[in-house]
Structure 1
Amino acid sequence: MINKKSKQVQNVADLGFPIDLEKALTLQPDLIITGNTDEKQYAALSKIAPTIVFDTFAPLNERLLHLGEIVNKKKAAENWLAQYKIKEIEPSQLPDYAGNRIFMLIPTASDSKRTLERMLNSSLWRSLPAVRQGQVYFVEADRWNWNDAMTRQKLLTALPKLLGASS
């Protein structure tokens, strides 16, 4: 998905899935970062350029710090995470952000679904005017949330606007 977000990312290419080895070769990369743990793919990629296998399932802060270390931008990663944490909405702040309509991401992970269920059954959630008026809209997280730093940044900007809150 990098190509769709590439205005902020330069000299990065999405090699697709499965990885397009010919495209990787034509790009003449200095470094390949992949989430693919297939040994044959790794062997083929490492013949093209130094290759690092990256845990795409690690929590965002771990992934971002690891990427920062890889590309010698650890301080930038730490700064981004600090700004992200400042903007994160706490459950107690939900009434401040919830407008007359709510768009809710439906998670795919089972532990996240349980957390969502607990929230949906909470008195705080049920007290929200949009909930009482049936103005809650659920959208699939896998369509809205690619679980990367740029998508998270966009969500932190877009969701308050969608919900009618000022940031």
Structure 2
Amino acid sequence: MNRRKKTSIVATALLCITLLLSGCSSGKKSTNEGSTVQGQMETSSMTAEDQKSASSETRIYKDSQGHEVKIPTNPKRIVLQGNPIGDLLALGIEPVGIDRRFVDMSSALDKEAITAQDIGYPTNLEKVLSLEPDLTMLSYVLDKEYEEASKISPVVTFDGSLPLKERFPVIGDIVGKKVEAEQLLQDYDLKAEAMWKELRANGKIVEGETAVVLQYYWNKSMYVMKTGGLAELLYQSSGFGMDDKVKALQPNSGPYIEVSNELMHEMLIGDRLIVLHSADKDAEKAFEELLKTDLWKSLPAVKSGKINFIEDKWNYNDMTTSGMLLDEFPNVMEQ
């Protein structure tokens, strides 16, 4: 074989090797591109799963009765049994199911704007089931209500009778808005402090003045109220004092201390008398009759003209009503 022919064969072989390597490289590139696309699809799929997971994140919560329950971190469909609807509304949450009695009787809640379905009293669990809640909140428990409701969704209990400053942070924690709840309470305290300061500056309240709260119902029953609702505002550290004799009164049921006509002078003791009354026609008529009696007219606060009236629709201690009451109460003191 001559030198020229040998060189040609080597060149041809090198060309073939080059083409082969080029093909392999091209195939490898194609495979890598396919892997990249597949990886991007997997990443996209994982992102969707992560988003879904994020929307249904859960945590373990220990409720007022000691149940440790797995609940949504940010529940979206809440059924609330009990009174504190205004607490959830203040946090920007409207439940899908509520006992609408507490909306209808409240002054601060816009009845028409609240679209939550009525779950009734006692709670209609079939209605709750139809609402497909991701969380059910019970402010009290009747019979086997907890067990039955737990078959529908995660359930937490809390004490709905607690004062606003104790209950509101609990509710904020349950619905994943603990920080917001704490901030709203701070704002409320500052506004309340400013209200009391202004009332004193305007001479509407005297330093050290005491007050007693009377709740009057349509059936002529009367109760002294030391806690809950309006009383929580009145007896703040910057507000009215409470006479020692009133402090000693013991409730008959919950916050209610029953008052008879004969015992009014022994129980309605304070520099000022604040009367919660109903706008119901029968109640108004019965109340007007009471105002004409000698027993009523001889009460010290009535004789001194230090008596103020407010509709009992304001006698709620949820955050929404409590906040609005800070604007309403100075008007009550103008009477």
Q: Normalising by structure 2, report the TM-score.
A: 0.38
Is the counterpart of residue 121 in structure 1 residue 270 in structure 2? Answer: yes
**Structure 1 CA distance, aligned partners of 2:214 and 2:306?**
16
Deviation at 1:158, TM superposition (A): 2.0
Larger Rg computed on CA atoms: 2
Change (3 A) 1:39 1:65: same
Task: Supply the distance in 2 between the matched residues of 1:44 and 1:109 (Cα, whole angstroms).
Answer: 37
Deviation at 1:20, TM superposition (A): 1.4
**Which one has a larger percent strand, Structure 1 or Structure 2?**
2
Q: Find the counterpart in structure 2 of residue 44 from structure 1.
A: 148
Find the counterpart in structure 2 of residue 13 from structure 1.
Answer: 97
| Distance in 1 (alpha carbons) for counterparts of 2:157 and 2:203 | 38
Please, what TM-score do these two structures have when normalized by structure 1? 0.69
Measure how far apart 1:88 and its partner are. Answer: 1.7
Q: Percent identity?
A: 31
Partner of 2:110: none
Give the C-alpha shift of residue 54 in structure 1: 1.2
Which residue, out of 308, 313, 316, partners 1:137? 308
Deviates more, 1:144-153 or 1:8-17: 8-17
Give the aligned partner of residue 214 of structure 2: 106
Identify the structure with the greater helix proportion: 1
Q: What is the Cα deviation at residue 18 of structure 1?
A: 1.0
CA contact (8 A) 1:35 1:56 kept: yes
Deviations 1:79-134 (A, max 9, x none): 010011112258676433739xxxx9536565448937589634xx59xxxx7873
Query: Which structure ranks higher in relative contact order (CA pairs < 8 Å, sequence separation ≥ 6)?
Result: 1
Q: How many residues align?
A: 153
1:79–1:97: structure 2 CA closer, same or farther, 3 Å change rule?
A: farther
Cα gap change, 1:72 to 1:9, in 2 (>3 Å): closer
- Could you report, residue by residue, the CA deviation over 1:23-70 in whole angstroms, capped at 9, with x for unpaired residues? 111110010101122340111111111011110111211211111111
Aligned to 1:60: 164
Unaligned stretches of 5+ residues in structure 2? 1-82, 99-118, 206-211, 216-222, 232-240, 248-267, 274-301
SS of the equivalent of 2:309 reads strand
What's the C-alpha RMSD, in Å, of the aligned pairs?
Answer: 3.9
SS of corresponding position for 1:83: helix
Structure 1: where are the runs of 5+ without partners? none
Q: Distance in 2 between matches of 1:18 and 1:69?
A: 26
